[in-house]
């Protein structure tokens, strides 16, 4: 049942993001226009869907959505500060991983920046554990071995690795990792855009994470001559930012209505 709920959440959420929302608006507009030729609502929805897709594909839009989240995340972590605070765990939140004949780096796909930053911090913190997350989708193969290969090849011994493959989203990661680290300070490594929501989830469970953001995408303005030109990269960044804003909104609703995150 958990797997079905997870897949249902993913399918429904597709239509909240720019591409899915634009397609839905255009299809709905075309349906209304076909059924009621005199109605202005159909053409309006089609035009709105196209314009929304264009606007969210612009590099300047992606930048304006991402930048506040990355500013809130802070800057790269200072390993000396982690040592001073007695950090014993470097926790790397996962991205999807692949198994099979992919190289150790390719197995991490979009999470490569996160795991490399985790390895960098682990090497600077004596006797720390490197804790990695990489849950597989329902029915998929466990990603434990795929996760472990790259850190091992970068000099992290297996005894210093702890793998968590059960978590399917950040909320589950927060719950499972809090059981590992307790209320002691630990380094939390994830993409800068994802950091504010991750901190909120961990802190709601009584954990004491230290933000260690990486994978910054909006440190600099895009080239001015590309601001208003549609790019797939701009759409991807808008999607990533909206995912975090929706997540933060949902956390606020749960805290307000239900009383916890």
Strand order in the sheet with 129-133: 161-164, 129-133, 89-92, 185-191, 208-214
Average pLDDT over residues 230-256: 92
| Longest Cα separation, the chain | 72
Q: Are 43 and 33 in contact (CB under 8 A)?
A: yes
Locus of tokens 């702890």: 162
Percentage of residues in the chain having pLDDT higher than 90: 62
Identify the CA nearest to 190 among candidates 78, 256, 68, 92: 92
Q: Say whether pLDDT at 261 is over 70.
A: no
Question: What tens digit of pLDDT does each residue of 134-188 get?
Answer: 665 555 555 566 778 889 999 999 999 998 888 878 888 999 898 888 889 999 9
Question: What tens digit of pLDDT does each residue of 27-76 get?
Answer: 999 999 988 888 899 999 999 999 999 999 999 999 999 999 999 999 99
Average pLDDT over residues 251-261: 74
Least confident of 26-40, 104-118, 234-248: 104-118
pLDDT at 1: 42
Number of residues that make up the chain = 261
Q: Are 90 and 125 in contact (CB under 8 A)?
A: yes
Q: Say whether pLDDT at 221 is over 80.
A: yes
User: Which domains, from first to last, does the chain contain?
Assistant: 1-58 (no CATH), 74-214 (3.40.50.620)
How many other β-carbons are positioned within 10 Å of the β-carbon of residue 38?
Answer: 6
Under DSSP, the state recorded for 254 is I
Q: Say whether pLDDT at 26 is over 90.
A: yes
Whole-structure pTM value: 0.88
Q: Say whether pLDDT at 208 is over 50.
A: yes
CA quadruple 106, 107, 112, 118: dihedral sign: negative
Q: Measure the CA angle with vertex 67, ends 49 and 177; round to 5°.
A: 100
Identify the CA nearest to 74 among candidates 260, 247, 211, 261: 211
Q: Are 217 and 70 in contact (CB under 8 A)?
A: yes
Average pLDDT over residues 185-201: 96
pLDDT at 53: 97
């Amino acid at each position: 049942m958990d797997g079905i709920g997870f897949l249902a959440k993913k399918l429904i959420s597709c239509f909240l993001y720019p591409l899915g929302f634009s397609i839905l608006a255009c299809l709905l507009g075309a349906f209304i226009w076909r059924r009621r030729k005199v109605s202005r609502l159909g053409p309006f929805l089609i035009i709105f869907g196209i314009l929304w897709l264009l606007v969210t594909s612009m590099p300047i839009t992606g930048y304006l959505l991402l930048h506040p989240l990355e500013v809130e995340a802070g800057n790269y972590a200072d390993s000396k500060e982690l040592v001073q605070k007695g950090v014993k765990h470097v926790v790397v939140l996962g991205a999807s991983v692949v198994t099979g004949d992919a190289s150790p780096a390719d197995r991490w796909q979009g999470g490569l920046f996160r795991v490399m930053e985790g390895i960098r911090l682990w090497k600077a913190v004596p006797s720390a554990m490197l804790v990695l997350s990489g849950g597989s989708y329902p029915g998929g193969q466990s990603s434990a071995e795929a996760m472990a290969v790259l850190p091992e090849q970068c000099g992290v011994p297996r005894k210093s690795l702890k793998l968590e493959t059960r978590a399917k989203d950040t909320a589950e990661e927060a719950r499972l990792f809090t059981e590992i680290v307790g209320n002691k300070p630990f380094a939390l490594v994830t993409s800068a855009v994802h950091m504010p929501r991750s901190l909120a989830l961990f802190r709601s469970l009584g954990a004491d994470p230290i933000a260690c953001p990486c994978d910054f995408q909006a440190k600099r303005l895009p080239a001015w001559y590309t601001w208003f030109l549609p790019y797939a990269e701009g759409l991807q960044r808008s999607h990533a930012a909206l995912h975090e804003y929706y997540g933060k909104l949902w956390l606020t609703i749960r805290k307000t209505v239900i009383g916890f995150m």
